Amino acid sequence: MALVLLNGNFCPLHLHLIMGQRFLRYLLSLCNSAGRCLSASAYSSKCAALFHLFQSFGKWQTQTLQADLKVAMVTLKRMVAVEKQKGNGRIESGMEPISFTLYKAMSKLLLSLPGAEGVFGHLFLILSWNLACCSANTCTIQLGHFC
């Protein structure tokens, strides 16, 4: 059975049973550790993941499902905005920086790893930290950027 799942041609889910209201109910059940709703971008990424699931098995979402998801996303984004206005939601958006304590712990862990992978990981961490940038930006650094 595991080999059947790994070949990519067999979908273990009944995608035709996924409906907009069910997916919206699932999205509304998601919350952070404080019991608050997620950010608008988090909800958008869940919808993108659902679209990717359909696409990866060569299936297409029905027009009804697409319309329901569009309405659901508008509703969720409005709900997140209202929560922010009331002061209950997360005001800032995007990623949060790591603390210096976590940075030191990660540095020690990476340096303790054997081989070049730990050294490379440590270098990558130091570059990202010192340049105050995301890992995606660290990947695109060129020597000419330092001159």
Q: How many residues does the chain have?
A: 147
The model carries a pTM of 0.54
Question: What DSSP character marks residue 147?
Answer: -
Span 78-121, pLDDT tens digits: 888 887 787 765 555 556 677 889 989 999 999 999 888 889 88
pLDDT of residue 4: 52
Q: Which residues of 18-37 are buried (b: 16+ CB within 10 A; e: fewer)?
A: bebeebbeebeeeeeeeeeb
Quick one: pLDDT at residue 101? 92
pLDDT in tens, 70-79: 988 888 888 8
Average per-residue pLDDT for the chain: 80
Q: How far is CA 111 from CA 37, 46, 104, in A?
A: 38, 35, 11
Question: What's the whole-number mean pLDDT along residues 21-27?
Answer: 86
pLDDT for the residue numbered 110: 92
Asked if the model's pLDDT at residue 127 lies above 60, the reply is: yes
Chain-centre distance for alpha carbon 106: 21
54, 60 in Cβ contact below 8 A?
Answer: yes
* % of the chain surpassing 70 pLDDT: 80
Q: What pLDDT is recorded for position 29? A: 85
Region of poorest pLDDT, from 48-52, 88-92, 126-130, 137-141 = 88-92
